[in-house]
Amino acid sequence: GEEQLRDGGLHRRRVVVLFSLPFHGHLNPTLKLAALLRARGLAVTVLHTDFNAPDPARHPGLAFVPIHETPLQDTAVSPDSDILAKLLALNAAIAAPFRQALASLQDAVACAVVDGQCYAAMDAAGELGVPVLALRTDSAAALRNMLAIPRLRDAGYLPFKEEQLDEPAPGLEPLRVRDLIRVDGCDTDELCGFVTSVADAVRASVSGIVFNTFEAIEAPELAKIQRELSLPAFAVGPLHLLSQTPPPAEQSLHAPDRGCLAWLDARTPRSVLYVSLGSLACVNRAAFEEMAWGLAGSGVPFLWVVRPGMVTGGAAGEEAPPPLPDGLEEKMRGRGKIVTWAPQREVLAHDAIGAFWTHCGWNSILESICEGVPMLVQPCFADQMVNARYVTHEWGVGMEVGEVIERERVAKAVTKLMVGEDGARMRERARRLQVQASAATSLALDSLVQYILSL
């Protein structure tokens, strides 16, 4: 190990290369893992796309190399296109440039840790003879679900049939059929095609899987995935806790409105509901209005992230956030604060926050758990349904807003969680998970480093 790490001399330096697809929720954990590996003495080079490129100045000690991907199709960047179309377009755009960038690195590459949704990069690295680890920025449960999709289709569960929605998903309990990974507007064959590309790349090229999760919440899922893939799995999360990057220095693709922290300072402890659907999820105008009226009608103070482009049907590329319904401001009576992007980790860590209404992106779930904040779940697509099911039924730290977003139900759910007894129990359990999360050690990371050096 050590001699291979030494700069210069007879041995060429061996670097670990990391590559993430340019999504907010993938880049952030990847850069945290990069910093952690660097802190353990490994030389780290981050390959990245020009689109959503990270700012090297924020990550001292890491080397950055752009891959100059082929121009992205509209589907890869438009907020309206579905996640599967984005993933396919990105994989196509990066395949050749990634391979070229990796092949032309001056240093010897010890191993490439690449985005586990990026079959193009896994394949390219494998073909170049570079050992590959897949970095999953979702849960182990979500990857098990993903790999099971062709089997579930063959068994007749997909496409979904209304009468089967509440049946347990075979082999994936506690998931029901309705909780399975889903991408609206794309057909089952398309989804199976993508999954097969990922699964084939994993089987052909990958020597191990790295997860941003921890044993206390996913031990059984991790054990199952190791068995199913016959590959070592490293649960190195929660990465944002272990890496201890102070939030202001974090990679952010949007500028957070830090003014909301002062607004929170003026609220009483646990009185505010934080509402955010992450960086990609959208709702239609009707659902947006029901959310707005439900929040205002609940009487509960709230901090709501309303992103430009978050409401579907607006003009493409619109910079301004969607307008609030007429008369809402009056109804909110100063109880609501609306921002276009929040410093989420700091918000969740703030005393004033009582609960989090989330779309159930995996990063959001981990961040909420790590601060002991219970959740109101409104999953929108992809693995979010899986995550929501674990939040509500496996860990008991959250409840559903309801399948239909309707103002009365919203207001009821919000009050139940914020001031009801059920809410108090969920908060208690969230606190316990918080303790377990902070006890998650870097042992898994140590074994990952050992493994990388042995490859």
Q: Which is nearer to ligand UDP, 124 or 283 (CB)?
A: 283
Are the beta carbons of 341 and 257 closer than 8 angstroms? Answer: yes
Shortest-Cβ-distance residue relative to ligand UDP: 361
Question: Footprint of ligand UDP on this chain (CB under 6 A)?
Answer: 23-25, 28, 256, 276, 278-281, 305, 341-342, 344-345, 361-364, 367
Q: Which is nearer to ligand UDP, 22 or 301 (CB)?
A: 22
Burial 252-262 (b: 16+ CB within 10 A, else e): beeebbeebbe
Q: What angle do CA 104, 106, 110 make, to 5 degrees?
A: 95
Q: Which of 342, 251, 361, 245 is nearest to 303 (CA)?
A: 342
* Beta strands 272-276; 302-305: pairing state: parallel
Does residue 26 have an active-site annotation?
yes
Minimum separation from the CB atom of position 360 to ligand UDP (A): 8
Are the beta carbons of 105 and 43 closer than 8 angstroms? Answer: no
Give 208's contacts (C-beta < 8 A, 6+ positions apart).
Answer: 133, 134, 231, 232, 233, 234, 451
Q: Which is nearer to ligand UDP, 24 or 331 (CB)?
A: 24
Q: How far is CA 248 from CA 102, 104, 360, 443, in A?
A: 31, 34, 23, 27
Q: Which is nearer to ligand UDP, 126 or 379 (CB)?
A: 379
Instruction: Based on DSSP, count helices (H) and strands (E) in the chain, helices before strands.
Output: 18, 13
Measured in residues, the chain has a length of 455
Q: Which is nearer to ligand UDP, 47 or 338 (CB)?
A: 338
Residue in the structure block whose two tokens are 């509901």: 273
Minimum separation from the CB atom of position 158 to ligand UDP (A): 22
Q: Which is nearer to ligand UDP, 194 or 381 (CB)?
A: 381
Does residue 68 have an active-site annotation?
no
Here the tokens at position 345 are 């980790």
Catalytic one of 82, 115, 179, 383: 115
Alpha-helical (H) ranges within 230-320 are 239-243, 259-265, 285-298
- One-letter amino acid at 452 equals I
> Using CA of residue 180, residue 311, residue 274, residue 235, what is the dihedral sign?
positive
Residue in the structure block whose two tokens are 């509960």: 300
Minimum separation from the CB atom of position 343 to ligand UDP (A): 6
Q: Which is nearer to ligand UDP, 234 or 341 (CB)?
A: 341
Minimum separation from the CB atom of position 119 to ligand UDP (A): 19
Minimum separation from the CB atom of position 358 to ligand UDP (A): 7
Distance CA 263, CA 284 (A): 28
Q: Which is nearer to ligand UDP, 175 or 382 (CB)?
A: 382
Minimum separation from the CB atom of position 378 to ligand UDP (A): 12
Q: Which of 284, 282, 290 is nearest to 412 (CA)?
A: 290
Tell me the sheet residues that pair with 398: 375
Hey, which bits of 129-271 come out as E strands? 132-136, 206-211, 233-235
Q: Which of 370, 360, 352 is nearest to 391 (CA)?
A: 360
Minimum separation from the CB atom of position 12 to ligand UDP (A): 36
Distance CA 132, CA 122 (A): 7
Minimum separation from the CB atom of position 6 to ligand UDP (A): 36
Active-site residues, by number, are 26, 115
